[in-house]
Amino acid sequence: MLILGLNMFHADASAAIVHDGEVVFAIAEERLNRHKHFGGFPALAVKACLDAVGANISDVEHVAVGQDSDANLAKKIRYAMANPSKVLNFIRLRQRKEAMRDVRSLLAKALDVDPSSLRFQEHHLEHHLAHIASAYYCSPWEKAAGFSYDGSGDFVSTMMARCEGNDIEVLQRVFLPHSLGSVYTMICEFIGYTKYGDEGKVMGLAPYGRDTYCQQIDKIVTLKDGGFQLDLSYFKPLGSNQGMQILPDGTVRLARHFSDRMEKMFGEPRRPYSEISRRDMDLAFALQHRFEEVFFHLLHKLQKQVPCDDLAMAGGCALNSVANGRLFERTPFRHTYIQPAAGDEGLAIGAALHTYHSVLKQPRLHQLKHAYLGPEFSESRIESSLKKAGLDHRRLERTFLLDTTAEQIAEGKVVGWFQGHMEWGPRALGNRSIVAHPGLPNMKDVLNARIKHREWFRPFAPSILAEYQHEYFEHDHPSPFMLHVYKIRPEKRKALCAVNHVDDTGRLQTVTREENAMYYDLISAFHKKTGLPVILNTSFNENEPIVCTPEEAIDCFQRTRMDVLAIGPFLVTKEAGNQS
């Protein structure tokens, strides 16, 4: 049975295909149309899903969308009625959503087929339920607490649930305008990070700050028995100009979230790209601090309702890897499962799996143990791309390729590493990665100057052989999808100086041979040469979505000052006359 899952007309539009309950292929539209965070209809992603399983849309029995504009309708209407100036806007939004609900026509048009040939049944699932489904149904557990939080989705910002067997029972929702994600976005905007998805940058800035504004920020979001609430005087009113907009070309644009009260309280907002002041760092610190306090408060409440060790979690805020790393000490939960696409692209697999397990009552037989659900490319395709680009290249046997690449990394070279299936989710996890030596003091500056051009305060991440995690980090809980930040042990900080953040932490990826044999063997080869079971791993891109195809990887290699490209079995070096 084939089920197609969709996240459409929402940020990070995506598609996923589930075959007899197993997610076999999933991809965000941005990787194919090269439009970052694209929020339109994922036409290319749908085609890629069907191609991956050799099916036509007429073979698909169910299509599931991770959005339901009828969900929480009473709450929306009540809000609109209490805020009459927003009624028109509310009606406009609803009309637009209605037009987008015609999934049958949208798919027929995208695939150029007759709508009458489509036999699928259509399902719409509330946003946060799809988030929780994406985590729980991919997890190994028969029972777990389910938690989802983000800016907003179907008028909800937070959901808590009891997950058991095939069922997810919603225990609580926090409705808009109260949203922890919106608090994060609002303060990010105030300190000059105004683009969709900038929240991760501010998380990296936070440890440079001090406790100057914690008291003030604490007042913006206060704890309640039932959850939390915002002091709305710091925000533009919901429904006026606040929130996220999807433009007709699929661009995701954030409107200004903060009100004049923020300026009265903290002075002028920082202009994007201007110098970062002590005030901005201290605000980032206070924001991250309050975010965690509220998060832990919610998790305590959830654990009381669902007493267990296991937490299945999703939503854009679940990408806050610092909070994820601390929750083991601050809450009673002992294990987390966060699937690699915890943000909105993950809705596609959540909606599809919910249809399979909850609607159709099919058994749970598959876990998602790795993130490699995207396209892969044949050796002949890679070779012809290299020839077309005029690059001298050598084909190496597997062991020799691993050994030579590890040698180059050990010598301080910056290596593009393109292998196998592309990752699902925002992190490069060793198949579309740029890799480098984690222990060279200047490596962060080299990477930034030559390729990444990132803000000075953003750390690079380590990939570590899983069995060495306890020797290097103060936490044992695995982090296969780079979604946890842990303290690096004091005696290892110097050896990992290029991935050791200012607060002596690292956002690690634990690598097992079962999940990714090629990447595991590369780190092992580096380990043999240097004694370090760790390499620096950053995404293979330069201010663009992560590369997907060999041509995009080669183009990125040629236009940046990367030293080496290991692509499939081929090795390319700049020294061989392949200058950029």
In the complex, the smallest distance separating the C-beta of residue 294 from Fe ion, rounded to whole angstroms, is 17
Decide if 24 contacts 9 (C-beta within 8 A). Answer: no
When the beta carbons of 153 and 374 are compared against Fe ion, the nearer one is: 153
3-class secondary structure per residue, 136-204: HCCCCCCEEEEEEEEEEECCEEEEEEEEECCEEEEEEEEECCCCHHHHHHHHHHHCCCCCCCCHHHHHH
In the complex, the smallest distance separating the C-beta of residue 353 from Fe ion, rounded to whole angstroms, is 16
Backbone φ and ψ for 312, nearest 5 degrees, come out as -100, 120
When the beta carbons of 153 and 506 are compared against Fe ion, the nearer one is: 153
Helices (H) and strands (E) in the chain, counts: 19, 23
When the beta carbons of 200 and 569 are compared against Fe ion, the nearer one is: 200
DSSP character at residue 348: H
In the complex, the smallest distance separating the C-beta of residue 217 from Fe ion, rounded to whole angstroms, is 23
In the complex, the smallest distance separating the C-beta of residue 283 from Fe ion, rounded to whole angstroms, is 24
In the complex, the smallest distance separating the C-beta of residue 319 from Fe ion, rounded to whole angstroms, is 10
DSSP character at residue 42: -
Decide if 107 contacts 118 (C-beta within 8 A). Answer: yes
In the complex, the smallest distance separating the C-beta of residue 130 from Fe ion, rounded to whole angstroms, is 8
When the beta carbons of 150 and 521 are compared against Fe ion, the nearer one is: 150
Distances in Å between the alpha carbon of 90 and those of 80, 238, 240, 241? Answer: 7, 10, 10, 12
In the complex, the smallest distance separating the C-beta of residue 7 from Fe ion, rounded to whole angstroms, is 9
In the complex, the smallest distance separating the C-beta of residue 9 from Fe ion, rounded to whole angstroms, is 13
Task: Give me the residue whose beta carbon is nearest to Fe ion.
Answer: 150
Strand 570-573 to strand 564-567: parallel, antiparallel, or no bridges (unpaired)?
A: antiparallel
CA–CA distance, 312 with 45 (Å, rounded to integer): 26
- Kindly provide the residue ranges of all beta strands, DSSP E only, lying in 362-519, ordered along the sequence: 394-395, 415-418, 432-436, 461-465, 484-487, 505-511
Q: How many CB atoms lie within 10 A of CB 60?
A: 22
In the complex, the smallest distance separating the C-beta of residue 105 from Fe ion, rounded to whole angstroms, is 25
When the beta carbons of 148 and 541 are compared against Fe ion, the nearer one is: 148
When the beta carbons of 152 and 541 are compared against Fe ion, the nearer one is: 152
> Which tokens in the block code for residue 139?
């997890």
Q: How many CB atoms lie within 10 A of CB 51?
A: 12
When the beta carbons of 150 and 282 are compared against Fe ion, the nearer one is: 150
Going by C-alpha positions, the residue among 466, 484, 463, 469 that lies closest to residue 335 is 484
Going by C-alpha positions, the residue among 368, 184, 323 that lies closest to residue 258 is 184
When the beta carbons of 153 and 425 are compared against Fe ion, the nearer one is: 153
When the beta carbons of 30 and 344 are compared against Fe ion, the nearer one is: 344
> Which tokens in the block code for residue 469?
């995690």
In the complex, the smallest distance separating the C-beta of residue 49 from Fe ion, rounded to whole angstroms, is 20
Decide if 402 contacts 558 (C-beta within 8 A). Answer: no
When the beta carbons of 293 and 344 are compared against Fe ion, the nearer one is: 344
In the complex, the smallest distance separating the C-beta of residue 344 from Fe ion, rounded to whole angstroms, is 4
Going by C-alpha positions, the residue among 518, 464, 448, 529 that lies closest to residue 496 is 464
When the beta carbons of 270 and 427 are compared against Fe ion, the nearer one is: 427
In the complex, the smallest distance separating the C-beta of residue 263 from Fe ion, rounded to whole angstroms, is 29
When the beta carbons of 148 and 431 are compared against Fe ion, the nearer one is: 148
Angle (nearest 5°) at CA 74 between 7 and 231:
85
CA–CA distance, 52 with 372 (Å, rounded to integer): 13
> Which tokens in the block code for residue 133?
């489904």
When the beta carbons of 11 and 496 are compared against Fe ion, the nearer one is: 11
> Which tokens in the block code for residue 461?
């991440």
Distances in Å between the alpha carbon of 498 and those of 72, 245, 494, 537? Answer: 47, 37, 9, 11
When the beta carbons of 199 and 280 are compared against Fe ion, the nearer one is: 199
In the complex, the smallest distance separating the C-beta of residue 10 from Fe ion, rounded to whole angstroms, is 8
CA–CA distance, 513 with 429 (Å, rounded to integer): 13
Question: Based on the number of CB atoms within 10 Å of its own CB, is 213 exposed (0-12), middle (13-18) or buried (19 or more)?
Answer: buried
When the beta carbons of 63 and 348 are compared against Fe ion, the nearer one is: 348
CA–CA distance, 485 with 518 (Å, rounded to integer): 24
In the complex, the smallest distance separating the C-beta of residue 131 from Fe ion, rounded to whole angstroms, is 6
CA–CA distance, 16 with 356 (Å, rounded to integer): 13
Residues in the site for Fe ion, rule: CB under 5 A? 150, 153, 344
In the complex, the smallest distance separating the C-beta of residue 39 from Fe ion, rounded to whole angstroms, is 12
Q: Name 139's Cβ contacts closer than 8 Å, sequence gap at least 6.
A: 310, 312, 337, 367
